[in-house]
Chain A
Amino acid sequence: MSEYSITIGTLIAIQAIVACGLNVIVGYAGQISLGHAAFFGIGAYASALLTTAGGLSFWTALPVVLGITGLVGLFLGLPSLRLREDFLAITTIGINFIVVSVFQYVPFFGGALGIGGIPRIVLFGERIRGVSFLLLSAGFLAATLAICWLFTRSWSGLACFALREDETAASSMGVSPVRFKLTAFILGTAMAGLGGALYAHFMRFISATDFGFPMSVMILSMVVLGGMGTLWGPVLGALVLGILPEVFRPLTDYRMFLYAALLLMMIRFQPGGLLGENSLARQTFSRLKGGKP
């Protein structure tokens, strides 16, 4: 594998982790969030600051980073208890813009220059780079998927599904919306924080513009395209949206246009996602199994 495709692969794995986190919030708990890149950024900045200014290693900083992003997620999940759908969607956009401008304008966070000189991850005395970083990210992705799978099988997961389908009915059955929505927010944002930490130590230089609203749209598109609420959907979405720009790269000027047009076509003709209910993939799969289409 060339250096270039390893880089693309690593970025796809990192984005898949972040997309899985968003899937917990949007797909499992049914809370729309358009500001997920903010938590990706908070994770990246927290890890970058702890390892540069704080002098910690990646591994000792990681639990702190997950704690910080989860805590911020809990705090920013609070509006979801009060606001519904469209209001929540726009509020999360707002949170994204505000977080980015804080990173950009507060000198503590490096201001417009960002943070550079982030150390590499050291594992078993080896500096992780290239293929090993790809494998490390894939390992973290596998762990994230395992946690997602366990979550859907757990009591908390079932409670989230119930709240997503009908909040009034679920809460009258004794399922606390406060407790389980916030659980989903903490879990989802901590996964974004993990992705952010990996991103910071992979790029070794971060700036606020990496985590702006376009990134949030990209992550949400991955989740929706792949199939919201499915286990593998976000990974498939990250793969498709990560590889497409590379496929279109020879088309230079037309690349972004084709990318946007294709996104539009996919959402227009497969609104449930590539792996969601009634999708082409699901229908073909059940036809192959000989069941009803």
Chain B
Amino acid sequence: MQLFLEQMLNGIAIGAIYAMITLGLALVYGILRILHVAHAAVYTVGAYVGLAVFSATHSILLSAGGAMLVCAGVGVLIERLVYFPLLKYPPYVPLIGSIACLLAIEELCRLAAGPYILSFPAQLPFPSFTVGGIVISSTLTAVYCISAGVLALLWFITTRTELGLAMRATSQDMAIASAMGINSHRIISLTFMMGSAVAAIAGILVGVYYNQVYPSMGAVPAYKTLALIVVGGLGSVPGAVLASILLGVGETLLIGYAGIPLPRDALAFIAMIAVLLWRPQGLLGSRG
């Protein structure tokens, strides 16, 4: 029982980190209908910049701030230079552009920092607990608190502010939104900034959680998060979060108990195909 609870807690933490990466993807898909594979590269950049600032200053707050700033910049650059000019082409054209971006940025990280696995020896300023014999480490507490905070903040921005209203209007119909006086290009850039800054936080959390930062750390999340936004319902942010947490828990429990001989990276896709057969619009998506 104790082992089960510990597995559960780890699974939720992994799911929460998946959710923070998937969020950016769901936001971008909702607004531009582009599969933003290069988002995983932004997340890798976040981890590297975070680690670099941390080694220079030994402050995790400065490191997070620096990584968020740089990633927001990288995200907007990808949007302005690659996606925006390709919007009028069929969806596979920006998709290939995105994959090329992912490869190029991964290679840049490898050239800049070397092909090695670097360690991220940060202590996050969160307390650890012991409840009924179960130890919740400070890293776990940090993952819970930070992801809950980020999700709540994003929920507030998208549903309770004028900016969120403009974002929702742009994702429903860009032409009409522009006609109503919304600067839709600015909204798109802001969406990329927000999604990329959250990816930077996710990158730092993964770096600290596994104590590993390496150039290809984005490769598996790049495709797994695609499956997650499909399962959640393309463009649905709550659906993406739900699917991420379910996958985090499912992966951890299946590895821990069932001993399924398939690698856990195929699991997301098997779940995805099962969900699509049952609900082609995704868990929380709407038809049409």
* 16 more CB-based (< 8 A) A-B contacts, given A93-B227, A268-B81: A83-B276, A86-B33, A89-B92, A91-B273, A93-B269, A94-B270, A94-B272, A97-B266, A101-B262, A224-B92, A224-B93, A257-B108, A260-B103, A260-B107, A263-B103, A267-B93
* Contact (Cβ within 8 A) A271 B103: no
Q: Which 8 A-B pairs have the closest CB atoms?
A: A94-B269, A260-B103, A257-B107, A260-B104, A264-B100, A101-B266, A263-B100, A271-B93
Least Cβ–Cβ distance between B39 and chain A, in angstroms: 14
Q: Check A90/B82 contact, CB under 8 A, given A97-B265, A105-B262.
A: no
**Residue numbers in B under 8 Å from A83 (CB-CB):** 276, 280
Q: Which residues of B are interface residues toward A (Cβ below 8 A)?
A: 29, 33, 35, 81-82, 85-86, 89, 91-93, 95-97, 99-101, 103-104, 107-108, 111, 223, 226-227, 230, 234, 261-263, 265-266, 269-270, 272-273, 276, 280
Q: How many A-B residue pairs have CB under 8 A?
A: 109
Q: Which of A79, A100, A217, A253 has a CB less than 8 Å from the CB of B111?
A: A253
* Contact (Cβ within 8 A) B35 A86: yes
- Chain B interface SS verdict (over half): helix
Mark A180-217 against chain B: 1 for CB-CB distance below 8 A, else 0: 00000000000000000000000000000000010001
**Residue numbers in B under 8 Å from A32 (CB-CB):** 91-92
- Chain A interface SS verdict (over half): helix
Task: Tell yes or no: A65 within 8 A of B by CB.
Answer: no
Least Cβ–Cβ distance between B96 and chain A, in angstroms: 5
- The complex places the Cα of A267 from the Cα of B81 at a distance, in Å, of 12
**Residue numbers in A under 8 Å from B81 (CB-CB):** 268
Least Cβ–Cβ distance between A208 and chain B, in angstroms: 11
Interface residues of A in 69-99 (CB under 8 A from B): 79, 82-83, 85-87, 89-91, 93-95, 97-98
Least Cβ–Cβ distance between B90 and chain A, in angstroms: 8
* Contact (Cβ within 8 A) A256 B234: no
**Residue numbers in A under 8 Å from B107 (CB-CB):** 256-257, 260
- The complex places the Cα of A94 from the Cα of B35 at a distance, in Å, of 14
Please, could you name 16 A-B residue pairs with CB atoms under 8 Å apart, sorted by A? Answer: A26-B92, A86-B234, A89-B91, A90-B272, A94-B227, A95-B269, A98-B266, A100-B266, A220-B96, A257-B111, A260-B101, A260-B104, A263-B103, A264-B82, A268-B85, A271-B93
